[in-house]
Structure 1
Amino acid sequence: MTFPHTASRSQAWSTQEIVESIRPKLRRVMIVLNNKGGAGKTTTTANISAQLAAALHAAGSSKRVLAIDLDPQGNLGLDLGHQGKPGDDEGQSVIDVVEGTGGLHIIKDVRPQLDVVPGGKILKRITASMIGTRSIDPRREILLSLAEALAEVAHDYEWILIDCPPNLADLQHLAAVAAEYVLIPVCFDQGAIQGLEGVSEVFDVATRLNPSITPLGVLLFGFDRQHLRKIRDEDGDVIGLKEIGFLAKKRREIMEVLGDSGIPIFQTVITRAVNVADQCRKHGRVFAELADLTAGSDWKRHAKQHQLTLSTESAETSAIEMEEATAEIIKRAMTLEAEAYA
């Protein structure tokens, strides 16, 4: 398994003029990718997008965040609460971009300063459209189509995040050709680690047209909290966490898979919280929003009525973990950006 080393950039093979014209505009496009389903890609995309948009809004910035759903399941729409509502075209505008018949359809302000390009079942048509192209030049044109479409709107956005589907190579390649950074969530099962091999294959295709694509790091997702032991000082205050058991073992295994690629594993771990995830999707809220909801005066009555066992503490823990992960991820991206574009 091979990944590009983060210290160097590959050379593109052709269409140099097109690549050079769009790459400077796409310096903050991040895709969330693992070839295994259930690795936390959609949850990660939704939460990071919402957190970044909230931070921009709080800072009084005029910039925005764009989240793009490239998964035919369309679950980003559930997490952000726009699925089935006016403007949800189920991925039709992405098809239009690939076929050259239109531009991206952007739903504005699903949250303050957070916009979305919806996905859904219509995206299944992309595979047929792309496989049917045998000539290398049209194929190259298709692979560059999303990147070119994003370059036209990127000036409005501080960050663009793309939720990639598992096991749909054409959609993954489309996203990777547009990306500057690749975030790789890996969950606790062996299949998610094996999904890293699929990520490596996506890099092999994308680097031919995208000399800037860079692996950002691996985010450990969905591990049991019991495998994080609290470290306390002499006064009994928690000063850190130590990974033990299965989690520590899995981090070592992933490090072995990554080898000398230079790709880091982020320190923050998103622990498993089934009730939190279920209620987030049911209410169309991200972790931080659910934490606020459960802290409200009406939650206890709502939880009792619907026989829910979700506590405010559990929701807050998930929100804090994702906030810390987002800070790590963005810090890493900004460091790489400074090194590459100094």
Structure 2
Amino acid sequence: MAQTVLVTGGAGYIGAHACKVLKAAGFVPVTFDNLNTGWEEAVKYGPFFKGDLMNRADVDAAFAQYRPVAVLHFAALSLVGQSMKDPGKYWRVNVMGALNLIEGAIAAGCLNFVFSSTCATYGDQDGVLLDEETVQKPINSYGASKRAIEDMLVNFGESHGLNHVIFRYFNVAGCDPEGEIGEQHVPETHLIPLMLDAVAGKRPALTVFGSDYPTRDGTCLRDYVHVMDLVEAHVLGLDWLLAGKGNRVFNLGTGTGFTVREVIDHARAVTNREVPIVEGPRRAGDAVALVSGSLRAAAELGWEPKRSTLRQMIGDAWAWAQGPGYRG
């Protein structure tokens, strides 16, 4: 019988892609989502439990009904700018929601936990390639809330034997190349879909936030990972836990950084269209550069980000944005 995995946030962008690869790997993914930011039509690969992590009764009911062998936890508020303006919301929803989930998992005897963390826990460390041993110094409430959840997993691992894999990942982009699911947020804040909307005339222009950063062209520098590469790493992390290999932290990035202007240049090449842009001020909480310097996931999990070129990430996203599933 196939093993069941509870996927929180499984109706969202990354969670839905994770459910697809979990099903392909022989698991039964159960999506747990309140649909505040997710899409019910993205739940295609297993059962759906509509629930809220802020309600412990919902969490307990999901564990009782499906008895999963593991949790993949994606559900979270994730807007850096919003987290700077309303930190209390991020501490309540992200941290308290995770605490309910962790305690619910332990009470149900589900002791394998894969956590979607972020490179935002490292903060702004110019000139540093970030690996798992880099000191964490988050500069916004989003990163701080994710760091707090990492600490909780360590604490509950020591006290209750909760096995965990933590993935700190960099900017996620692209879509399922088969076009079954894609990237769509309300409001949209991610660079590539915003840029492609501007290319398609669905918004007036892409705003470039800050052009005076100490980078090669004055715009922020980021490491981009294709969403399918990213979620395949989560299946490898799940296998790691089920094999009893213990607790581990992995960065997920390619080690190559691109500036905002370089991403725009690639979009011109992929779409063969101009990208309308306007210059805007820096946003509070944005780091100058975030690039992975880690080889641990490759060495220990056998992970290979084989789709994570800008050309493929932008190309897959462009195909999705022109397809029947897109709501833009």
For the aligned pair, the TM-score class normalised by the smaller chain equals 0.3 to 0.5
Q: Which has the higher helix share?
A: 1
Task: Say which structure, 1 or 2, has more relative contact order (CA 8 Å, 6+ apart).
Answer: 1
In the superposition, the TM-score normalised over structure 2's length comes to 0.43
